């Protein structure tokens, strides 16, 4: 005998319900972008209020296959105008710091926690940092650096998700998603407090030591970096 559907029962199979997470999150979408797509997405970003006051976004600069990643805080006035991180006097000092350990600016990659300048160079707020985080996260995933140097309190605390003062974060090797991370002072701070350059030099030496160890673990013995000091 034929079997009939009972009252209230559909005779057609129902479509599967969509999964709760079927729509990819913003972070998931960004996580699938290549370098050019990511830079385009950053340039069009309006995820926080900083888009209304910026001249342009500051994506990052340098060798996209670099072993060293330098991360600062946010663009300043000159960076906002030129579209490049660490320019002006702070950028010149960063270049000197890199040269002191045998690196050229062109051989590292440089980025910031924020891609837009906060008005009057104020500290980034939590919402702004969280809005930019997927972009930096993707840059790091694409770059696959051997070591990260966090320059300044804002960069260090945001990357390490801590409120610990920079003085206590210095001198240790931390980890960001498994990548060794060394904390040092921001070049702009060193311009205001030149007496701290000695400590910054110690930080760079720790970074070099950590980099060598990472390379040796891969079976690659790297040539020694220059001995010197920060001008």
Residue 169 lies in a domain: yes
In which domain, by residue range, is 206 found? Answer: 47-217
| Residue 176 counted as domain residue | yes
Residue 150 lies in a domain: yes
- Could you read off the pLDDT of 171-209 as tens digits, one per residue? 999 999 999 999 999 999 999 999 999 999 999 999 999
Q: Is residue 35 part of a domain?
A: no
Q: Sheet containing 61-62: give its strands across.
A: 61-62, 109-112, 68-72, 147-151, 179-184, 173-176
Q: What's the confidence (pLDDT) of residue 1?
A: 45
**What CATH number should be reported for the domain holding residue 138?**
3.40.470.10
Q: What is the pLDDT of residues 91-121, one digit of tens each?
A: 999 999 999 999 999 999 999 999 999 999 8
In a domain, 29, yes or no: no
Number of domains in the chain: 1
Domain membership of residue 223 (yes or no) is no
Does residue 171 belong to any structural domain of this protein?
yes
Instruction: Say if CB 58 and CB 85 are below 8 A apart.
Output: yes
Residue pointed to by tokens 């790297």 = 222
46-85 residue pLDDT tens: 999 999 999 999 999 999 999 999 999 999 999 999 999 9
User: Would residue 69 count as lying in a domain?
Assistant: yes
Cα distance between residue 140 and residue 181, in whole Å? 12
Q: Are 174 and 207 in contact (CB under 8 A)?
A: no
């Amino acid at each position: 005998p034929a079997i009939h559907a009972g009252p209230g029962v559909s005779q057609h199979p129902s479509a599967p319900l969509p999964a709760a997470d079927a729509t990819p999150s913003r972070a998931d979408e960004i996580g699938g972008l290549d370098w050019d797509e990511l830079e385009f997405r950053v340039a069009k970003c309006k995820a926080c209020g900083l888009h209304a006051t910026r001249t342009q976004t500051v994506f990052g600069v340098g060798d996209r296959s670099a072993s060293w990643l330098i991360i600062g805080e946010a663009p300043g006035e000159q960076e906002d105008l030129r579209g490049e991180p660490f320019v002006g006097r702070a950028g010149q000092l960063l270049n000197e710091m890199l040269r002191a350990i045998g690196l050229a600016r062109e051989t590292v990659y440089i980025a910031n926690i924020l891609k837009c300048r906060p008005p009057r160079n104020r500290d980034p707020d939590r919402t702004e940092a969280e809005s930019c985080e997927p972009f930096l996260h993707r840059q790091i995933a694409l770059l696959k650096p051997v070591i990260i140097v966090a320059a300044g309190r804002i960069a260090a605390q945001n990357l390490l998700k801590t409120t610990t003062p920079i003085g206590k974060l210095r001198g240790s090797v931390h980890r960001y998603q498994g990548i060794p991370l060394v904390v040092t002072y921001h070049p702009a701070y060193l311009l205001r407090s030149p007496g701290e350059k000695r400590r910054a030099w110690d930080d760079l030496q720790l970074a070099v030591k950590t980099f060598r160890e990472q390379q040796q673990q891969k079976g690659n013995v790297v040539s020694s970096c220059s001995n010197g000091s920060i001008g």
